[in-house]
A and B are shown apart, each in its own frame.
Chain A
């Protein structure tokens, strides 16, 4: 595996860990403190934010560029560029989908809590991280052993 593949797998690992942590924490809050499931979920998701921040910051630090070696070529740049576009596109589609769904579900003349907007941004960010990492993994998996 090259550096970008390792970073992508590491990011997917962190996001999976954040999801599992959120589910466990949600179950804990529901059992111990009698929160409703949606309230417990958002509380747990809030506690998972450090893991998600680590998903973005930690992998490039853990898998540092090695001095004196060529770590990145034109194909790597193209894959990174494509992954970024797909990540943005996925977040864009998510934002549009959520906004239109809310519009249809509650009606144009309704009000929604302001905190919902921050949740939309949060989930859109997670969507972008997952889409970027998955795209990187899929594109490199097409290259076989030529990725070393």
Chain B
């Protein structure tokens, strides 16, 4: 007669394991990980490439006041009214090299007017042109390229009063650049 033997050892152990109460397995230490966030920008910097110069100007002989506009965009142009523009004055808009966080928008703050050297004549009606965005006169907003740089050109108008003399007229234009 064949005897059947069932191996109960392993199965018995499994049953004993399963019969253990769940409370004996409870967790007494729990940890949670979280994060704070921020966005870091590069500091802004402004480099001076050229100061504004209207070049050599000769008021016309009738003694009337006149104006000269130096354009911000290329090519450099002097648009004169009642004034003769002479060579030899190295006319240029103010040129600034800017650096900051790549791709970020920045705002240019500029005074409403400054005065010329020599003679402190009125310089106003500023125009702004950037290498990355072109004419930004109305918005005053530029944008850094993928390398974090931009070039800003500042044009303006000088008003020469009655009786002004021939000279090379320049102007110092302070600007502030901030992240928008």
A and B physically associate: no
